[in-house]
Amino acid sequence: MLHILLLILKVIGIIFAVILGILVLLACVVLYVPVRYDLRASCDGTLAGIRAGARVTWLLHLVGLYVCYEEKELTWRIRIAWKNIRSGQEEKNTIRAEVETYGEEVEELREDAEETAEEEYSGEVLEGEEERSGEVLEEVEERTAEAVEGEEERSGDVLEEDRKRIAEAVEVEEGNSGEAVEEVEERTAKDCEDREEDSEGSEEDRRRELGEASVNGEILEEQRSVWQKIADFCHGIWQKITGLYRKIAGIPAKLRDAVSNIRDKAEALKGKKDKILDFLTDEVHKKAFVKVKDELLRLLRKLKPKKISARVRYGFEDPSLTGRILAGISVAYPFLGEDVEVYPDFERRVLDGEVKIAGRIRASYFVWLLWKLVWCKEVRMTYRHVRQFKL
């Protein structure tokens, strides 16, 4: 029984050891297998002649990215194990989808054609029925028109007889009422003449009174407007004088406020400057900054490309621009190596040559940098102080 238990524990230990070994192997692969990159570019002096390519691979080309620019066209390809994704793959997929859906579209068109044929047949049947119903309607309309004409003739005779009787009665009534209407008109004419004479006399009196009142009103209004203008002018001058006096009286207070604000800001800036200087001149912080700088420089040296070769001839229309670019390249020239050759042309505009850059990057570089910074006491203290720092 004990032997079986020990055997089970042995198997479990072996399984754990295998799993742990696999994890360690994966960690080592991720940390120490480098990501290799290779960049190439060339130009023959024209835009159409620019060619560039980049290749980034990892784990024996199991994962890779390939980019190429040639003849003013950019193409790319991503490889993950046996799976490849290309730049023109989407267009091919769309073409395949269109070909697959072509059969469905043909069937839909056939169904539409059959439906249109059935609609045309039903339309012909409906046209025949409409012609028949139209003939029936015409017969009915003719009969109704004949009946209406007969009724109109009968009603016309009756209306003529009634009109004659009404005309005779009206003539008799007009003869009797004509005399009374003439008397009433004479009386009303006399009354209107008397009223007009009275109204003319009263209107003349009113016009005279209104004329005298308007003249007096205009005179009073002119006098009031003149005095009002003088009063408004004096009031405006007084307001301007008082406003100018208030501004002059408020200048010293504004100057005092401005001076005090400037003094407060200067003191605040001075306090901030002293606080920042104290933070930067602290011994712990100094050691932390030196440690970070050294580690970053070491990382940059490790990330430096292993191979840089270039032969470039360039020039611009402005010679001063060519000289400034040459000055910038000369600063980095000691770090580029002996395989870099740059030839400036100060007389014409030209760009010709080729560039090759190759190198590798490991994840262990960054992990080792973080490990050193984390285990540095001064860096940890500086990080805490930076988080707590307030101006």
At residue 46, the pLDDT reads: 74
At residue 388, the pLDDT reads: 86
- Say yes or no to pLDDT of 36 above 90: yes
Answer whether residue 40 is part of any domain: no
Phi-psi region of 207 (alpha: psi -120 to 50; beta: other; left: phi over 0): alpha
Q: Tokens in use for 353? A: 């040559």
| Domain boundaries, position 317 | 282-388
Answer whether residue 346 is part of any domain: yes
Helix (H) or strand (E) holding 267: helix 89-280
Answer whether residue 66 is part of any domain: no
The residue with tokens 């009223």 is 195
At residue 172, the pLDDT reads: 45
At residue 359, the pLDDT reads: 93
Q: Classify residue 82 by its DSSP letter.
A: T
Provide, rounded to the nearest whole percent, the portion of the chain with pLDDT above 70.
64
- Say yes or no to pLDDT of 79 above 50: yes
- Among 54-68, 91-105, 250-264, 314-328, the range with the most confident prediction by mean pLDDT is 54-68
pTM of the model: 0.54
**What is the rounded distance in angstroms from the CA atom of residue 278 to the CA atom of residue 106?**
82
In the structure, what pLDDT confidence band is assigned to residue 25 with cuts at 50, 70 and 90? very high
Report the pLDDT averaged over residues 179-199: 54
Q: Classify residue 316 by its DSSP letter.
A: -
**What is the rounded distance in angstroms from the CA atom of residue 298 to the CA atom of residue 369?**
9
- Say yes or no to pLDDT of 137 above 90: no
Question: What 3-state class would DSSP assign to 318?
Answer: coil
List the 307-315 sheet strands across, edge first. 83-86, 73-80, 63-70, 51-58, 35-43, 350-361, 307-315, 340-344
Q: Please check whether residue 35 is in contact with residue 361, taking contact to mean a CB–CB distance below 8 angstroms.
A: yes
**What is the rounded distance in angstroms from the CA atom of residue 293 to the CA atom of residue 372?**
12
- Say yes or no to pLDDT of 120 above 80: no
Answer whether residue 382 is part of any domain: yes
Q: Tokens in use for 148? A: 């209406």
The residue with tokens 């490889």 is 79
First to last CA, the chain: 73
Q: Tokens in use for 292? A: 């970070």
User: What's the pLDDT tens digit per position in 240-299?
Assistant: 888 888 888 888 888 888 888 888 888 888 888 888 888 888 888 899 999 999 999 999
CA torsion, points 180, 182, 184, 189, in degrees to nearest 10? Answer: 180
Partnered with residue 83 across adjacent β-strands are: 80
- Say yes or no to pLDDT of 48 above 80: no
Answer whether residue 348 is part of any domain: yes
**What is the rounded distance in angstroms from the CA atom of residue 242 to the CA atom of residue 249?**
10
User: What's the pLDDT tens digit per position in 84-108?
Assistant: 888 876 545 554 555 455 556 556 6
Answer whether residue 70 is part of any domain: no
Q: Please check whether residue 312 is in contact with residue 343, taking contact to mean a CB–CB distance below 8 angstroms.
A: yes
In the structure, what pLDDT confidence band is assigned to residue 233 with cuts at 50, 70 and 90? confident
- Among 106-115, 152-161, 269-278, the range with the most confident prediction by mean pLDDT is 269-278
Report the pLDDT averaged over residues 13-17: 94
Nearest to 36 by CA among 54, 14, 10: 54
Answer whether residue 369 is part of any domain: yes
Answer whether residue 122 is part of any domain: no
At residue 125, the pLDDT reads: 42
At residue 299, the pLDDT reads: 93
At residue 278, the pLDDT reads: 85
Pairing between β-strand 51-58 and β-strand 307-315 as defined by DSSP bridges? unpaired
* Mean pLDDT, rounded, of the chain: 76
CB atoms within 10 A of CB 217: 10
- Among 157-161, 241-245, 370-374, the range with the most confident prediction by mean pLDDT is 370-374
CA torsion, points 381, 384, 385, 388, in degrees to nearest 10? Answer: -160
46-60, 187-201, 270-284, 329-343: the lowest-pLDDT one: 187-201
Overall number of domains in the chain = 1
Concatenating the DSSP letter of every residue in 328-383 gives HHHHHHHHH-TTEEEEE-SSS-EEEEEEEEEEEE-HHHHHHHHHHHHT-HHHHHHH
Provide, rounded to the nearest whole percent, the portion of the chain with pLDDT above 90.
23
At residue 135, the pLDDT reads: 60
At residue 338, the pLDDT reads: 80
- Say yes or no to pLDDT of 192 above 60: no
Identify residue 92 by its one-letter amino acid code. K
